[in-house]
Structure 1
Amino acid sequence: MAPAAANVSRFAILFEKEEIEKNDYNLSVSTYVEKEDTGEVIDIKVLNQEIAETVRKIDVLRASINEIVKEMDDGE
């Protein structure tokens, strides 16, 4: 009998020989243990608001640059 072992989610799981046999004796960890999802959860509404604010700031800066260029052209 195998010694007692603890299953640790996404880290270690004790499988019986029959389960390994069912998987053609494939001992690849990814066959038995699911990889932890490290993806970041993004709130699309907040992201969209941030993009809209950035675009607004760009528009204000572009208008300021256009005004400066116009003043420089008028000064020639």
Structure 2
Amino acid sequence: VLKKSKSENSTLFIDASKEFVKVTNNNKLTQENIETILNAFKERKDIEHFARLVPNSEIAEEDYILSVSTYVEQEDTREKIDIVALNAEIEKIVAREQVLREEIDKIIAEIEVGK
């Protein structure tokens, strides 16, 4: 709650979207999930990809948008690919393909001569 009379002038955003276990069609909070969320609330400090204490002045700059995703960055879980290594592997495959094509052409030529 944004109050002018509040001594601390910041708001804690907690992204607890991954703090659950899936039970049938429902999500349930375990005791461990609840403790993780409560500890973040009590400590009121930044925890990467989970919680962020945002000064109310920053919230004002964001036109008072209170969406958690505006302030707590999601963890990037995408697979990191080494493009240089991938291109080197593709180059090897293409070279091997060429060698195989040449060998196939030789075999076909031998078969055609033998007819």
Counting aligned pairs with the same residue, the percent is: 40
Count of residue correspondences: 75
Residue 63 of structure 1 deviates from its aligned partner by 0.9
> In structure 1, how many angstroms separate the alpha carbons of the residues matched to 2:68 and 2:45?
16
Give me the TM-score of the superposition, normalised by structure 2: 0.50
Partner residue, 1:68 = 107
Give the alignment's Cα RMSD to 1 decimal. Answer: 2.5
Q: Which runs of no fewer than 5 residues in structure 2 stay unpaired?
A: 1-6, 9-41
Extract structure 1 runs of 4+ deviating beyond 4 A.
none
The structure showing larger relative contact order (alpha-carbon pairs under 8 Å, at least 6 residues apart) is 2
Distance 1:52 1:4, change over 3 A: closer
1:5-50 CA-to-partner distances (Å, cap 9, x unmatched) read 1311122102233322221121223321233334515151x33332
Counterparts of 1:27-42 in structure 2 under 5 Å? Answer: 27-39=66-78, 40-42=80-82
More strand by share: 2
Q: Which runs of no fewer than 5 residues in structure 1 stay unpaired?
A: none
Give me the TM-score of the superposition, normalised by structure 1: 0.68
More helix by share: 1
